[in-house]
Structure 1
Amino acid sequence: MDDYPLLNLFWTMLWFFLWVMWFFLLFKVVTDIFRDHSLSGWAKAGWLVFVLVLPYLGVLVYLGVRGRSMAERDEKQAREHEDAVRQYIQRTAGSGSGSVDELHKLSVLRDKGDLSQEEFERVKTKLLA
């Protein structure tokens, strides 16, 4: 370790980090090419060849030309995912609370005397089944 100074270690780590970040960016661009529904098949093939044959230039040109729409697609996908999660939570939480609300209403009707105990039990078993 004596012949590898600390500054060289810093530069090696920096270049390694930049190399990893470059691959993240490259994969992000390639996945965006396939995710974009406004591009035709030939346009997707052209962008993919351009990005893979001349990677640095291809990625920089792609980000310059299609960067704004890339961000819009990311936002749209995040919104759709968030809406799907919200709907799932509401659907899941709503299914349990509906029968609780119905049982409460039945209990109120029974307490007021509008339902007999037998009717209450019969409807309660239907709700819980």
Structure 2
Amino acid sequence: MDHPLLNAFWMMLWFFLWIMWLFLLFKIVMDIFRSHDMGGWGKAGWLIFVILLPFLGVLVYLIARGGAMGERDMQEATRREKAMQEYIRETAGSGGGGGSNVDQLTKLADLKARGELTQEEFDRAKEKLLAG
């Protein structure tokens, strides 16, 4: 008997599995290039294996190196977060507010108050800070 609803279900299931496999394939290719513990020949070998024998290559890669994929993702996320925070600090410090100069002047004043800087050293550092 012909069951069009069941056929539609199977077609959607296979389409979903195909999309998931493509997503996994792209994730693995990105992981190959992101991996710092492999040399160029290792990366080329895995890439050729994954492209020439896609289903087998993806499964073998997941078995061999899948455990560390999450760690590499976390390292990349941490690196990006640090870069973003550094960019924000640099941008906010050099923006119109002059917050970094105020902070440095406060530090200089504290050093002078503790007696670690003489008045002459303080004045020179303050001039240099305000000029540049």
How many angstroms apart in 2 are the aligned matches of 1:42 and 1:94?
44
| Counterpart Cα distance in 2 of 1:85 and 1:63 | 31
Match of 1:12 in 2: 11
Match of residue 126 from structure 2: none
Of 47-56 and 87-96, the range deviating more from structure 2: 87-96
1:91: how far off? 2.1
The 2-side partners of 1:45 and 1:92 are apart by 39
Residues 58-112 of structure 1 show CA distances to partners (whole Å, capped at 9, x for unaligned) of 111111111122221111111011111111122222333336x85xx9xxxxxxx
| 2:52 pairs with 1:53 | yes
> Where does the alignment leave 5 or more consecutive residues of structure 1 unmatched?
106-126
Give the superposition deviation at 1:4: 6.6
Aligned to 2:115: none
| Structure 1 letter corresponding to 2:41 | W
TM-score w.r.t. length of structure 1: 0.66
Residue 97 of structure 2 aligns to a residue whose secondary structure is helix
**Which letter does structure 2 place at the counterpart of 1:97?**
G
1:29 Cα deviation after fit: 0.9
45-54 or 16-25: bigger deviation:
45-54
1:7-51 deviation line (CA, Å, top 9, x unaligned): 221221111111011111111111211221221222122212221
Whether 1:71 aligns to 2:70 is yes
**Secondary structure at 1:97 match in 2:** coil
Query: Any idea what SS the aligned residue of 1:87 has?
Result: helix
Residue equivalent to 2:36 = 37
- Which residue matches 1:82? 81
Aligned length: 102
Distance 2:78 2:97 in 1: 27
Q: Residue 97 of structure 2 corresponds to which residue in structure 1?
A: 97
Structure 1 match to 2:21: 22
